[in-house]
């Protein structure tokens, strides 16, 4: 059984010293279950967002001054992060807003180029083998991101063409997936602007499922959904993993969701992993308040010194 990896306790060092029962060690030691092929390898990934001063400020400061000002305003969104995920694993990234979760997802999905380190999907580098990686991944983000005037069928047909799925086969598959997610035929052929957010998010899940990704990147897919829709989405994620061996990377604010879905969870704060283990392993690391059974939220509080809702700086990516 793995021991919990505690990489850092930035805001609660004192508390962690007395409550956290683990020691920092190389991330490789907290790797995925042995035996399964590696789906994703993140090796010392780093992403910094520079914030350039305005033109007038740059002119006033001169070349060196402007460079210094730019460096001072730079935001380190992902800071030397390493981990690996096995095929078929559901891997959770837990952390408040602005701590680098979405940036990490964007780095994996080829939407950002890392400033350092490497990210590989089944051994293919996300920068050098961009097109191959794109064929293997899909992403569902917190915003459903559709052409709202178009129907779910039109939006998904568009996605199908981009992913080289024959339109005839795509049509039947789209109907089957959307029905499975609870959309009736009228909704499938009605503009998406008339749909609730929960329904739109289900169409987003369907879009990802349609393209049969081997790695599914879920960036807060259930944020803002009602409990029923949340359960539907969670059931579908499990089904994708169980029936297609899809590897899932899930970012979430929802501790219960992470606990229920994820095989392993990394807690991220300030762009760095502060802990990485199974949900049960993470909970074992702390004594719960009043000796009650600890939750992932208790773990998070112990490791970061703040609640998830407090958040950090807005995500700069």
Among 164, 168, 290, 293, which residue sits at the site for other proteins (rule: CB under 8 A)? Answer: 164
Smallest gap from residue 67 Cβ to other proteins (A): 16
**Helix residue spans in the chain (DSSP H):** 13-19, 55-73, 101-108, 130-136, 152-162, 167-180, 185-188, 197-210, 227-244, 255-261, 279-284, 296-304
Q: Is 191 in the site for other proteins (CB under 8 A)?
A: yes
Q: Which of 21, 29, 57, 111 binds other proteins (CB under 8 A)?
A: 111
Can residue 46 be called a binding residue for other proteins (CB under 8 A)? no
Could you say which of 101, 120, 139, 264 contacts other proteins (CB under 8 A)?
Answer: 139
Encode burial over 247-260: b for 16+ CB neighbours within 10 A, e otherwise: bbbbbbbbbebbbe
Residue 313 lies near other proteins (rule: CB under 8 A): no
Q: What does the alpha-carbon distance between residue 220 and residue 218 come to, in Å, rounded to a whole number?
A: 6
Q: Are strands 124-125 and 75-86 parallel, antiparallel or unpaired?
A: unpaired
Q: Which range binds other proteins by CB under 8 A, 31-39, 105-113, 232-240, 282-290?
A: 105-113
DSSP 242-264: HHH--EEEEEES-HHHHHHH-SE
Only one of the segments 153-161, 173-181, 235-243, 264-272 lies at the binding site for other proteins (rule: CB under 8 A); that segment is 153-161
User: Using the rule CB under 8 A, which residue among 109, 246, 251, 304 binds other proteins?
Assistant: 109
Q: In angstroms, what is the minimal distance from the CB of 191 to other proteins? A: 7
Q: What does the alpha-carbon distance between residue 224 and residue 14 come to, in Å, rounded to a whole number?
A: 35
SS3 78: strand
Q: Is residue 141 part of the contact set for other proteins (CB under 8 A)?
A: yes
Compute the distance between CA of residue 59 and CA of residue 214 in angstroms, rounded to an integer: 49
Taking the complex as a whole, how short is the minimal distance between the CB of residue 185 and other proteins, in angstroms? 19
Q: Judge whether 267 and 303 are in contact, CB under 8 Å.
A: yes
Cα separation, 261 vs 236, whole angstroms: 11
Exactly one of 80, 154, 263, 297 binds other proteins (CB under 8 A); which one? 154
Which residue among 21, 28, 29, 50 contacts other proteins (CB under 8 A)? Answer: 50
CB of 24 to other proteins, least distance (A): 30
Is residue 138 a contact point for other proteins (CB under 8 A)? Answer: yes
Closest separation in Å from C-beta 170 to other proteins: 11
Q: Of the candidates 36, 49, 124, 245, which one interacts with other proteins according to CB under 8 A?
A: 49
Strand order in the sheet with 137-140: 5-6, 272-277, 264-269, 90-94, 247-252, 215-219, 137-140
Binding site for other proteins (CB under 8 A): 49-50, 103, 106, 109-113, 115, 131, 134-135, 137-139, 141, 143, 145-150, 154, 157-159, 161-164, 191, 207, 316-317
């Amino acid at each position: 059984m793995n021991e919990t990896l505690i990489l850092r306790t930035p805001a609660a060092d004192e508390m962690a010293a007395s409550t956290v029962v683990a020691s920092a060690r190389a991330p490789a030691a907290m790797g995925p279950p042995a035996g399964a092929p590696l789906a994703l390898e993140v090796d010392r990934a780093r992403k910094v967002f520079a914030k350039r001063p305005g033109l007038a400020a740059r002119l006033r400061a001169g070349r060196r001054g402007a460079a210094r000002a730019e460096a001072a305003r730079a935001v380190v969104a992902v800071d030397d992060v390493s981990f690996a995920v096995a095929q078929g694993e559901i891997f959770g990234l837990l952390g408040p807003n602005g701590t680098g979760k979405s940036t990490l997802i964007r780095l994996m999905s080829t939407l950002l180029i890392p400033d350092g380190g490497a990210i590989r999907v089944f051994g293919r580098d996300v920068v050098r083998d961009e097109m191959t990686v794109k064929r293997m991944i899909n992403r569902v983000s917190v915003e459903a991101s559709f052409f709202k005037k178009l129907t779910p069928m039109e939006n998904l047909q568009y996605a199908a063409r981009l992913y080289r799925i024959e339109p005839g086969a795509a049509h039947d598959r789209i109907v089957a997936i959307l029905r499975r997610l609870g959309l009736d035929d009228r909704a499938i052929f009605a503009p998406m602007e008339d749909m609730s957010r929960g329904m739109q998010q289900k169409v987003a899940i369907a879009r990802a499922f349609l393209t049969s990704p081997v790695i599914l990147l879920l960036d807060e897919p259930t944020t803002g959904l009602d409990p029923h829709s949340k359960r539907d989405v969670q059931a579908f994620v499990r089904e994708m993993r169980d029936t297609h061996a899809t590897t899932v990377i899930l970012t979430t604010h929802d501790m219960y969701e992470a606990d229920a879905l994820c095989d392993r969870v990394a807690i991220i704060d300030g762009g760095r992993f502060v802990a990485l283990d199974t949900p049960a392993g993470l909970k074992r690391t702390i004594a719960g308040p009043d000796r009650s059974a600890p939750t992932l939220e208790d773990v998070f509080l112990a490791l970061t010194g703040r609640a998830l809702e407090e958040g950090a700086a807005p995500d700069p990516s």
